[in-house]
Amino acid sequence: MKVGIRRERLQGERRVAATPETVTQLTALGLEVLVESGAGSESGHPDGSYTDAGATVVPELGLGELDVFCHVRPLSPDLVGGLRSGTITIGLASPASELPTVAALATAGVTSFALELVPRISRAQSMDALTSQALVSGYRVVLEAAIRFPRFFPLYMTAAGTIPPARVLVLGAGVAGLQAIATAKRLGARVSAYDVRPASADEVTSMGGTFITLDLDAVEGTGGYARELSEDRSVRQRELLAPHVAAADVLITTAAIPGRPAPLLVTQDMVTAMRMGSVVIDLAAETGGNVEGVVAGRDTQVTTRTGDGTVTLVGMKDAPSTMPADASRLFAKNVANLLALMTESGTVSPDFTDEVVAGACLTHGGTIRHEPTATALTGEQH
């Protein structure tokens, strides 16, 4: 069966859905891999490296001839129109925000797998792209903060005087937040963190951070995810966070609710109360932002309340793409492992009795299999 890998078209997207390493894995399964010329050039894989690994490099991928199409970014309805019925797609799908594409996939009879829907169980960890990409983002966000911060992160005791360590505050201690804590600790900062899920306290501590407990009821949804707070509790949360934010030199926000806009944790007023030279990096900027006024892909200088200087507010955008080589290495492995789970003797044949396959499937046989997305689409059509 033919598996196709295309050069990602979205501006700023530098990752690729297969690397030469995963091409070797896929061809060993009896699959034929077609790679569009230039697909891996931004992530350090020239065309020749794919050929050496056993793929066929083509100038342009003919979508209609593929049995399987692997991608990074969600597809567009236009592109889906070029796939034939029965084609299997694997990649990020953002089902909550890309409803027209989901509808197009169902109408076209495409069997689509959304990496966001891979169940977060031990057996599926090697296919969990949310985790692998959050790891990249959590690492990178700290480096972005460090290069903008006009001071050191570590404590220095020198003959010329003592420099205190930077105080880093991380809000949201999921995969990205925990990686941010670990990275800031490695750089020598003093790190504290908060998450609305009390279960994350032990994880924060094990990464070397100090967990902040607020006088706010715990909010835990299903599957280890947080639930959205009511408006009055959000207001209370911001009030309780305000002194911690004001005391931080570097604030990193990573809070998210699956399928919902990012929760607002920090107001402009809270930012202006920080000291001049402080840095705020919002990893949730692309989904609405945890920090009021943040713009994805832009640095904004916010004048401090005392008027003595500014705080740099950074809206992170395409965080995993800033490290395309390792982000692609992990992403491509996630894709290949999911594909391998469904492949027997060179044939890809999803077994829907397998909870990982069934859980990750978005559309199949003309229907939307993911209930919340089907419901959202029905609601939108009425």
Point out which residues bind ligand NAD (CB under 6 A): 120, 125, 128, 130-131, 134, 171-177, 195-197, 200, 224-226, 229, 254-258, 263, 265
Taking the least distance from each CB to ligand NAD, the nearer of 173 and 182 is 173
Taking the least distance from each CB to ligand NAD, the nearer of 111 and 322 is 322
Measured at CB, which residue is nearest to ligand NAD?
174
State how far the Cα of 168 lies from the Cα of 184, in Å rounded to an integer: 7
State the nearest-atom distance from the C-beta of 133 to ligand NAD, in Å.
Answer: 10
Taking the least distance from each CB to ligand NAD, the nearer of 36 and 98 is 98
Between CA 84 and CA 91, with CA 90 as vertex, the angle to 5 degrees is: 125
Q: Measuring CA to CA, which residue among 103, 59, 90, 44 is closest to residue 350?
A: 90
User: Do residues 271 and 304 lie in contact, with contact meaning Cβ atoms separated by under 8 Å?
Assistant: no
State the nearest-atom distance from the C-beta of 197 to ligand NAD, in Å.
Answer: 4
Taking the least distance from each CB to ligand NAD, the nearer of 36 and 128 is 128
Which helix (H) or strand (E) segment holds residue 301: the answer is strand 299-303
Q: Which residue type sits at 240?
A: L
Neighbours of 150 (CB within 10 A): 11
State the nearest-atom distance from the C-beta of 130 to ligand NAD, in Å.
Answer: 5
**Residues forming a β-bridge with 114:** 91
Residue 353 tokens read as 């009795």
State the nearest-atom distance from the C-beta of 216 to ligand NAD, in Å.
Answer: 9
State the nearest-atom distance from the C-beta of 320 to ligand NAD, in Å.
Answer: 13
Taking the least distance from each CB to ligand NAD, the nearer of 29 and 226 is 226
Taking the least distance from each CB to ligand NAD, the nearer of 144 and 195 is 195
Q: Measuring CA to CA, which residue among 239, 204, 200, 194 is closest to residue 220?
A: 200
State the nearest-atom distance from the C-beta of 174 to ligand NAD, in Å.
Answer: 2
DSSP strand pairing (347-348 vs 361-364): unpaired
State the nearest-atom distance from the C-beta of 155 to ligand NAD, in Å.
Answer: 28
Residue 369, SS3?
A: coil
State how far the Cα of 116 lies from the Cα of 73, in Å rounded to an integer: 11
Taking the least distance from each CB to ligand NAD, the nearer of 200 and 334 is 200
